[in-house]
Structure 1
């Protein structure tokens, strides 16, 4: 879900559905904290060509730990709001820094994964699943998925931006051989 294909934008979630009759939508996010997106002016949704289109925020209010009610400029009807349901939502990198909780898993994007003292690479995407979190990175030019859960995660050094793991024997061989 959380992805950084360019250094400029970071995926924070998606539009989960509509709310009310005036074009409000529910943003399901992975920012790691309840948020009303205070001072955020713009969020982005990718169009079919891969361009990031800006959507201007009119209002936002907290629904839950992972959801925020959002009213976007120019969406004034339920029908209009439906057009962006299930679309992925992106923030500019600077806005992401302001709104993501420092201890949230999504904030690990850009951190280095270190397996028993060997640096593997930089986290490019966080994929949250019901029972674990996967980090996508490139190792020796190949895409690798590293699971983060109680058995693999050793510690996180936020200052140095390093996630220390101890991977099961043979896990990397699956990707690199």
Structure 2
């Protein structure tokens, strides 16, 4: 199984105790959905390896304490710290609502703005603590679009499009050239208070 057949579930943050338990960060909307998780694919040196879960306890929101079959010592567990966790795409429930989408599914979708028409293509989606962002390729530039209902309206899975209304001036921020600093004074002169 390859990453193309899977979605990113999260990653391993640290060990827990001395018996090989691990702490998973579950990068999902509802971690409680995974309380009965029986197995997971862990990325080790670029390969996805299946591991069976002996026990899992969801704690502190997106964190889970997990015991994995065959991982019985802190040394074994330490080798998996920072490894990414994956599950097959088949595990995901299909979304029928056209106002919601999985982040991985909109990569390569065309972005259609209600005012400007077709803009570009989704290249990546960033799941951030403060604001989830869509990265779009537009006129050779990378443009970041905040994901919220005022901006991102609907998804058309059949035509592979995402319908948006970008805030005024958003594209201008990315298209304007950076100021030319060739005539700027030396660093010492810039901070001279005389």
Q: TM-score, normalised on structure 2?
A: 0.65
Residue 94 of structure 1 aligns to a residue whose secondary structure is helix
Cross-structure match for 2:118: 118
Tell me the CA shift for residue 62 of structure 1.
0.9
Cross-structure match for 2:13: 16
Tell me the CA shift for residue 76 of structure 1.
0.9
Cα distance between partner residues in 2 of 1:6 and 1:17: 23
Residue 85 of structure 1 aligns to a residue whose secondary structure is coil
Cross-structure match for 1:170: 172
Query: Which structure has more RCO (C-alpha within 8 Å, separation ≥ 6)?
Result: 1
Measured at CA, do residues 171 and 156 of structure 1 come closer, stay the same or move farther in structure 2, by a change above 3 Å? Answer: farther
Measured at CA, do residues 59 and 131 of structure 1 come closer, stay the same or move farther in structure 2, by a change above 3 Å? Answer: same
Question: Does the CA contact (< 8 Å) of 1:36 and 1:62 recur in 2?
Answer: no
Question: Does the CA contact (< 8 Å) of 1:110 and 1:124 recur in 2?
Answer: no
Question: Does the CA contact (< 8 Å) of 1:128 and 1:134 recur in 2?
Answer: yes
Cα distance between partner residues in 2 of 1:75 and 1:62: 19
Cross-structure match for 2:188: none
Tell me the CA shift for residue 87 of structure 1.
1.1
Question: Does the CA contact (< 8 Å) of 2:6 and 2:86 recur in 1?
Answer: yes
Cross-structure match for 1:66: 62
Q: Which runs of 5+ in 2 are unaligned?
A: 177-194
Question: Does the CA contact (< 8 Å) of 2:23 and 2:66 recur in 1?
Answer: yes
**Alignment: residue pair count:** 163
Greater Rg over alpha carbons, structure: 2
Q: TM-score, normalised on structure 1?
A: 0.70
Measured at CA, do residues 92 and 65 of structure 1 come closer, stay the same or move farther in structure 2, by a change above 3 Å? Answer: same
Cα distance between partner residues in 1 of 2:21 and 2:102: 27
When structure 1 is superposed on structure 2, of 39-48 and 147-156 the one drifting more is 147-156
Q: Which runs of 5+ in 1 are unaligned?
A: none
Cα distance between partner residues in 2 of 1:158 and 1:64: 35
Question: Does the CA contact (< 8 Å) of 1:60 and 1:71 recur in 2?
Answer: yes
Higher strand residue share: 1
Cross-structure match for 1:108: 103
Tell me the CA shift for residue 77 of structure 1.
1.5
Which one of 145, 148, 151 corresponds to residue 147 of structure 1?
145
